[in-house]
Amino acid sequence: MTKKVLVLGEVREGALRNVSFEAIAAGKKVSGGGEVVGLLVGDAVQSLGNEMISYGADRVVTVEHPHLKTYTSDGYSQAFMAVYEQEKPDAVVFGHTALGKDLSPKIASKLQSGLVSDVTSIDGEGDSAVFVRPIFSGKAFEKVKIKDGINFFTIRPNNIEPLAKEEGKTGDVQSVSAEITNLRTVIKEVVRKSTEGVDLSEAKVIVAGGRGVKSEEGFEPLKELANVLGGAVGASRGACDADYCDYSLQIGQTGKVVTPDLYIAAGISGAIQHLAGMSNSKIIVAINKDPEANIFKVADYGIVGDLFEVIPMLTEEFKKL
């Protein structure tokens, strides 16, 4: 049986996040040849509708309201429910992002439905779709099949390939009105820490530093390499605890979970809690002075050496490409 799948597009600072396009690709598989409907929620999102269509959504519905400019679970739940009542989808896809992790369980429980979270791949299509998700901090994978009810699931960024973009494709973008009332929280202003460069959770390349980086200044060569590779800088908790960098860079069990194409770990020992956040990266390069460091057990390429010598050498070589 084919399914109607609703896919939430995530908007940040006026642009769609990449995970939205990955979610459309996931929605296509789950639909089994049915319909994929994009959903955009915000204060001015109508203009982004056609971008979802160019990535494979069959049509898009939008809910716009001044109180939806910034995410609140109350406001987004009300917007979602208005669309849900109109569309009655068989399945719903969210990104496994801060927003998706907050909103999806709330709505799934309201609709008395199950939720498969943190999906990294989908085997099969339509009714026979099987969702694969890591468990025990990535040490094992669980395969989940939903027998009945609405299928809610969240997909981990950077794991499901988006469909090829059809440049210039346009389609049906329809606005749905929703009453956004009795909000317990109204966000007046968001003050962001200055975020330079690429978003860590969506980065294709991450250069991460640990306590071996030794100081805040020690991160400079890592930033330079990340710049040359068009990537982001990450860190172990060891480096964050030592105040060498901000906690927003922390990767691991209690930090961000990332799956870039290339993860360069410099001066990181490879504690189990760190591996929980990065061991599913496609290629791992470890740089460590200690040949016995645990990080080498998960590395595809290991360089035994001083990161302050190795990183600048890599940067110079990559600059030549």
Distance, CA of 287 to CA of 264 (rounded, Å): 8
By CB under 6 A, the count of residues binding ligand FAD is 27
In sequence order, what DSSP letters do the residues of 72-116 get, joined into one string?
Answer: -HHHHHHHHHHHHHHH--SEEEEESSHHHHHHHHHHHHHTT--EE
288 annotated as ligand-binding:
yes
Q: Is 124 annotated as a binding residue?
A: no
- Is 293 near ligand FAD (CB under 6 A)? yes
If the CB atoms of residues 269 and 281 are measured against ligand FAD, the closer one turns out to be 269
Q: Binding to ligand FAD by residue 239, rule CB under 6 A? A: yes
Q: Which range, of 49-57, 113-121, 172-180, 306-314, touches ligand FAD by CB under 6 A? A: 306-314
Under 8 Å between Cβ of 143 and 26 = no
From residue 215, alpha-carbon distances to 126, 200, 212, 218 in Å are 51, 21, 9, 5
Closest CA to 157 of 199, 109, 115: 199
Confirm whether residue 237 is marked as ligand binding.
yes
- Using CB under 6 A as the binding rule, whether residue 255 contacts ligand FAD is answered as yes
The window from 38-46, 68-76, 209-217, 226-234 that contacts ligand FAD (CB under 6 A) reads: 209-217
Q: Is 78 annotated as a binding residue?
A: no
Q: Is 270 annotated as a binding residue?
A: yes
The verdict on 252 binding ligand FAD (CB under 6 A) reads yes
Binding residues for FAD are 211, 236-237, 250-254, 267-274, 288
Judged by the rule CB under 6 A, the positions of this chain that interact with ligand FAD are: 210-212, 236-239, 250, 252-255, 267-269, 271, 273-274, 277, 287-290, 293, 306-308
